[in-house]
Amino acid sequence: MENQIRQLQFRLKRQGMLEIEAWLEPLLAVDLCGYEIRQAVLELLALDLPELLAMMHGEKDVPDVLRPCLGVMR
């Protein structure tokens, strides 16, 4: 899964989406052993860029288990 996160970050960098790439950086430090966290990260990785942007700007909900690591308040 770490490779998938890195691939997404690489794709974002290539497309000039450095702000989203930096926002997702903390996912690399998350303990991915828990089922809920793994599922939430997989869901996040499956999103399109507009959906990630909406999450980053608070226009779309971030999965609860990922809120602390992505610095999202309720």
Q: What share of the chain is helix, strand, coil (3-state, %, to 5)?
A: 70, 0, 30
pTM comes to: 0.80
Rounded to an integer, the average pLDDT of 12-33 is 88
Q: Is a pLDDT exceeding 90 seen at residue 62?
A: yes
How many CA atoms within 13 Å lie on the side-chain side of 35?
Answer: 0
Rounded to an integer, the average pLDDT of 50-58 is 93
Lowest mean pLDDT among 23-27, 29-33, 38-42: 29-33
Q: What is the pLDDT of residue 60?
A: 93
**Higher local confidence (pLDDT), 9 or 73:** 9
The residue ranges of every structural domain in the chain are 2-70
